[in-house]
Homo-oligomer: A and B are copies of this chain.
């Protein structure tokens, strides 16, 4: 099996399982990624938030629409620049965040079973090599993704 297909398949298996775990806790992968990004640091605008999550702005708009309708967050125009939305989490969003964080850390522990730190370092490096081998100039910067355990 070509390594690209092995990668795609295992990623699909893992992502679906993660999404199922988050769904059982009342959320979804996109809503988890949005909540944890909001929780971890302020973002200058939605475009920056979308970049942190790894999706396009239009996709983020759709998710934010759903989450605002569900009462998880609110969007307000920034008085200093009316093109910009400030996105803030509601109390309900806060509660969902805590439930999803639990699910995410449990899932991460299960996912890493049988792999030690050396394995994970090697895996991360090789994944980076693969992505770097095919990335165009507009590659993703080595953004430090927030660790669920560090978000408070």
Contact = CB atoms under 8 A, between A and B. Distances in A.
Given A13-B140, A17-B135, A126-B119, A108 B8 contact: no
A134 B110 contact: yes
A140 B77 CA distance: 48
Interface residues of A, number: 48
Contacts of A129: 114-115
A103 B64 CA distance: 38
How many copies of the chain does the oligomer comprise?
A: 2
Given A126-B123, A127-B10, A128-B10, A4 B111 contact: yes
Contacts of A10: 7, 11, 127-128, 130-131
A144 B5 CA distance: 11
A135 B4 contact: no
A129 B6 CA distance: 12
A45 interface: no
